[in-house]
Amino acid sequence: MKKLIQKLTDTYSPSGYEEAIRDVILAEIKELAEDIRVDALGNIIAKKGKHGKRVMVAAHMDEIGLIATHIDESGFVYFTSVGGSNPRYLPGGHVRFVNGVLGVIGSERISKANVVQPIDKLFVDVGATSAAECPVQVGDMAAFVHPNVQMGGRLVAKSLDDRIGVAVAIETMRRLKSGPNEVFFVFSVQEELGTRGAIVSAYGIDPEIGIGLDVSHTGDTPNSIRRELALGAGPAIMVKDSRMLYDPKVVAWMEGTAKKAKIPVQREVLVGGSTDARAIQVTRLGVPTGGLAIPCRYIHSPSEMIDYEDVENAVKLLTALLSAPIEL
Ligand code: CO
Ligand code: ZN
């Protein structure tokens, strides 16, 4: 699974430009589902099983990025964020534009060196010396560059939000026998811009149960705000985030299954942020929806960190949930 995760995080696909990651995922799953299609917005919908409950499992394949807003006369590229890129994580980082151009994010040397500069004061230096020579134009999009770094049982990479959810979904497809449920694995587009892909795919699938797969913030760093979630203590069962309450019946089903299979889990109340699960929950006449999250440090930075044990346990739990008939 480490190889798969590396392949997924080494691919550059900011929101709206998911072609590269879609090709990687399609190649991985072509033998793992009975029916695979790509819809008009670019979501991959892969179906496994013919009978029982219609379950939608969604992991987003896009990643946060930057978009060029202005090129100055010296060829520096000014930008704004696509998704929630945070200016405190940006200076010094490397980016890669969709057209392959590499750049480094610069910020001015100012007297108050410890003050975070707003995003409109930052720029990408692509090595150009004039606007005419700059290989980037307004509207070009970029994603972070960061190698996949193993640190014992932990992994640091870019775009673990949500390529790690994508990896969990693919590995679950591999382990899941065509079972008692009709499971639709959705690799969604444009989550970071407001769960656009999940909105349309959930409408089309019309599921009876939804599960969102994403990352969630930990509270295990030195001066973190008080939160329970920790790396390595198990995947998180979502109870609430800033835009939805996860269905209590789904929470109970997930917790009961974890207990029976002796899989460690944590409960998560996410204060800032939401996921594709919200889009599934409010589609059509409403769908009981849960969320499974991989604890992650430094979300939306170029160096996101996860623990492999949590990933393995998430695959085990998701496989157990989908392998038996579901009665909520
Ligand atoms: Co995100
Ligand atoms: Zn995410």
pLDDT tens for residues 55-78? 999 999 999 999 999 999 999 999
Compute, in angstroms, the gap from residue 164 CA to the centroid of ligand 2. 9
Distance CA 94, CA 150 (A): 19
Instruction: Tell me the pLDDT band of 102, cut-offs 50, 70 and 90.
Output: very high
- Mean pLDDT, to the nearest integer, of 167-181? 94
- pLDDT at position 84, please? 85
Instruction: Tell me the pLDDT band of 85, cut-offs 50, 70 and 90.
Output: confident
- Domain coordinates in residue numbering, the chain: 2-63+158-323, 65-144
Compute, in angstroms, the gap from residue 161 CA to the centroid of ligand 1. 5
- Mean pLDDT, to the nearest integer, of 182-199? 96
For the chain, give the mean pLDDT. 96
Of 111 and 327, the structure prediction assigns the larger pLDDT to 327
Instruction: Tell me the pLDDT band of 124, cut-offs 50, 70 and 90.
Output: very high
Catalytic residue among 28, 63, 182, 191: 191
Instruction: Tell me the pLDDT band of 226, cut-offs 50, 70 and 90.
Output: confident
Element (H, E) at 259: helix 248-260
Distance CA 28, CA 170 (A): 8
Top-tier CATH class for 65-144: mainly beta
Instruction: Tell me the pLDDT band of 110, cut-offs 50, 70 and 90.
Output: confident
Annotated catalytic residue 191: yes
Ligand nearest the Cα of residue 272 is 1
Q: What CATH number is given for 2-63+158-323 in this structure?
A: 3.40.630.10
Compute, in angstroms, the gap from residue 56 CA to the centroid of ligand 2. 17
Distance CA 5, CA 13 (A): 15
In the block, which residue shows the tokens 């497809």? 173
- pLDDT at position 116, please? 87
In the block, which residue shows the tokens 């998701």? 318
Q: Measuring CA to CA, which residue among 186, 211, 237 is closest to residue 41?
A: 186
Lowest mean pLDDT among 82-86, 283-287, 290-294: 82-86
Distance CA 106, CA 85 (A): 15
Compute, in angstroms, the gap from residue 8 CA to the centroid of ligand 2. 14
| Residue ranges of E strands in the chain | 35-38, 44-48, 54-60, 65-71, 77-82, 94-97, 102-106, 123-125, 141-145, 149-151, 154-157, 182-188, 209-217, 236-240, 266-269, 289-296, 304-307
